[in-house]
Structures are given as C-alpha cells and as structure tokens.
C-alpha cells in the first residue's frame, strides 16, 4: 500500500505515523502538514523529529495550510499536546531533513494524478489541505483509492468547547464539509470510537517503560497528554485517536464493526458548529458516504505498539 498521511502532529499523530513506518506492506509516499493541534511550522518540526528518532528514510514532507479556510475558531490544543504540539518535547536535535518546496495541496493533487486509484489517504488533523485539493481538482477524490480520517463525533459527543464537535472537524468545519461532500466514500474514526478503545493505564505504563529510542520518545512526548487525560478528563485509559484511524487503514480486518451512513458537517449552528450530522436511519434520502467505524481490535493494536516500541 502507498499512503499519504496528512497530519497536524500532534502527540498521537506521530504515534500513528510510526505505526505506518513500522508496517511491512506500507510505504509512506508523502506526509502533508496542516495547522491543528499546533501551528503548521511546529507540525513540520515534529514530523522531522519523529522521522529522525526512528531513523526513517527520506520521505517527502510538505508544508500545508497555516490556518483554516475561514479564520475564527482555531486555537490549537496545547492542553493536550503542549505548546509545541509534541508534549513540550525537550530533546530535539538538529535535523538534516528539509521541507519540499511545493505547497501540500498542490502536492496532493499532483501525486493523485501521477498514480490515480493507487494511493490511500489517511488524515489525522483538520481537513484544510484536503479541501483545497478538492477545490483545485474536483476529480481529486475520485483518484484516491481509500480515504480514512480521524475526526467527527458519530453521536455528537465531541471533545471541544462546541460540545457536539470533535477537534479536527471543529478546527475547520468548512474544510470538513467540502471534503465529506466531495469524496464518494470515506472511513471515519470518531471521538466516541476513541473513547471506547483506550489502552489501559497499565498498558500505557508498560509501553512508556520501554528502553528503545522509540519507547523513550513515546514516554517523552506523552506527559502532557497523560496529565490532561488523567486530571481533566478522568479518562479510564490512554486515548489513541489517530493510531486507531491508522490501524484501520493499515489492517482493514481489524475493524470489527462499522456502519455506512450519510454524514454532513454543520457549519453554522450557534452551539453546534463543527458537528458531524449523521443520518442514522436513512431519513434524508441521501446516499451513504461514510463508513463509521464502531469497533476495532484494540488488543492487536496494542501488540502493534509493543512491537513498534520494542
Ligand atoms: C484529534 O484531535 C487531536 O487532538 C488528535 O491529534 C486527534 O487527531 C482527536 O479529536
Ligand atoms: Ca491529530
């Protein structure tokens, strides 16, 4: 599988990309960066830091949108990801890696044209870059083989100040609306699916106690997220939204249950801007466009983490 990863890295984003790097049958053709958890300039640095830690080969990295399509709601997510987007990571080393000159949206369009029907697109952040690609080339979505995204809330149980909206969609609701409208089919890993599939705290501690460079990086970058999850959310375990979406992309057989619905994005609601609105009962008469992942094999995903961090 050849994959493009679009990311706002992000603590769980870098874990997800490490999973893809560690997957035998997957090649990352490009990483495109977008503002979300933190500003895109931190995102590119975070991606480079992770690639250096795991000793990845030369992967083209593109800088993308530095703000949502419409200004207004983006504030970053420093509570979870730290000011730098990587848990206030203090062990950064100088990197020899360089950004590509091409803007991310142009690169998405070009790569889809070079290999129509071949690329899997996995998005781990706001959908700004992908929306721009859809507007640049209306055929872009039809040239992508599979589109898997972390985002949305299937039952309106969000994780932002707009209570029914999930973070990635809330950051750029117009972009999410454009993308869901443009892609014939997508696979969605929602916030509620994230909450249903945590690692236990014991599992987190085991992973964080590893001695490899990757395990040390995992430990060094997850402190702020763990503090937020334990002290603010009182979460039952360690949430891994982006790795769950990546797992579904890498190994479709890990998805144990999904259902296919029409999904659109609310862009105007006074209380609900950024909510994903799901036609659960087919009432709209609109054709389904999103496979909503309900259950995924978390035991196997934990085993993938153990192997990745060993
Ligand atoms: C999503 O928002 C970000 O904080 C995470 O990286 C994930 O992509 C979860 O709502
Ligand atoms: Ca993310």
On whether the 2-308 domain is CATH 3.90.245.10, my answer is yes
**pLDDT confidence of residue 227:** 96
Query: What pLDDT, in 10s, does the model give residues 289-300?
Result: 999 999 999 999
Pocket perturbation via mutation, ligand 1, pick of 35, 77, 221 by most ligand atoms within 8 A of CB:
77
Is a pLDDT exceeding 80 seen at residue 73?
no
**Is 234 in the active site?**
yes
DSSP secondary structure of 248-265: HHH-GGGEEEEEEEEEEE
Confidence of residue 71 (pLDDT cuts 50, 70, 90): confident
Q: Which of 23, 81, 197, 234 is catalytic?
A: 234
The gap from C-alpha 192 to its chain's centroid, in whole angstroms, comes to 15
Residues with CB under 5 A from ligand 2 (ion): 8, 10, 13, 124-125, 242
Residues 33-49 have a mean pLDDT of 97
Domain ranges of the chain: 2-308
Can you tell me whether residue 10 is helix, strand or coil? coil
Residue 149 φ then ψ, to 5°:
-130, 145
């Amino acid at each position: 599988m050849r994959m493009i990863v679009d990311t706002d890295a992000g603590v769980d984003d870098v874990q997800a990309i490490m999973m893809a790097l560690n997957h035998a049958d997957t090649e990352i053709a490009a990483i495109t960066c977008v503002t979300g958890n933190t500003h895109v300039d931190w995102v590119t640095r975070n991606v480079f830091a992770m690639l250096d830690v795991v000793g990845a080969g030369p992967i083209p990295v593109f800088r993308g949108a530095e703000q949502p399509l419409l200004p207004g709601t983006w504030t970053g997510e420093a509570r979870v990801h730290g000011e730098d987007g990587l848990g206030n990571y203090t062990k950064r080393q100088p990197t020899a890696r360089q950004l590509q000159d091409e803007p991310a949206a142009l690169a998405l369009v070009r790569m889809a044209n070079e290999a129509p029907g071949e690329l899997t697109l996995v998005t781990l952040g706001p959908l700004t870059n992908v929306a721009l690609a859809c507007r640049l080339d209306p055929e872009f979505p039809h040239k992508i083989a599979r589109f898997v995204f972390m985002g949305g809330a299937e039952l309106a149980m969000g994780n932002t100040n707009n209570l029914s909206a999930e973070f990635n969609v809330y950051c750029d609701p117009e972009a999410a609306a454009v993308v869901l409208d443009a892609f014939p089919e997508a696979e969605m890993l929602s916030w509620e699916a994230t909450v249903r599939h945590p690692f236990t705290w014991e599992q987190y501690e085991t992973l964080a106690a590893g001695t490899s460079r990757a395990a040390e990086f995992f430990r060094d970058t997850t402190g702020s997220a763990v503090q937020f999850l334990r002290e603010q959310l009182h979460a039952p375990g360690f949430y891994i939204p982006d790795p769950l979406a990546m797992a579904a992309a890498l190994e479709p057989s890990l998805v144990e249950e999904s259902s296919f619905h029409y999904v659109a994005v609310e862009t105007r609601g006074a209380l609900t801007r950024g909510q994903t609105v799901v036609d659960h009962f087919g009432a709209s008469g609109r054709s389904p466009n999103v496979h909503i992942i309900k259950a995924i094999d978390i035991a196997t995903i934990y085993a993938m983490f153990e192997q990745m961090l060993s």
